[in-house]
Amino acid sequence: MNTTVTQDIKVTVRSRFEPKHSDPRVGRFIFSYRITITNTGKDTVQLKHRHWAIRDSLAALRRVEGPGVVGETPVLRAGEAFTYTSACDLNSAFGRMQGSYTMERKVDGHLFQVEVPTMEMCWPWALN
Say what the pTM is. 0.92
Q: What is the mean pLDDT of the chain?
A: 94
Instruction: Note whether 101 and 113 are within 8 A (CB).
Output: yes
Residue 127 pLDDT > 80: no
**pLDDT reported for residue 4:** 96
Domains of the chain: 2-127 (2.60.40.1470)
**pLDDT reported for residue 126:** 61
Band of residue 59 on the pLDDT scale cut at 50, 70, 90: confident
Strands 29-39 and 45-56: unpaired
Give all strands (DSSP E) within 1-128, no chain letters: 2-6, 9-17, 29-39, 45-56, 59-67, 75-76, 81-90, 94-105, 110-122
Residue 86 pLDDT > 80: yes
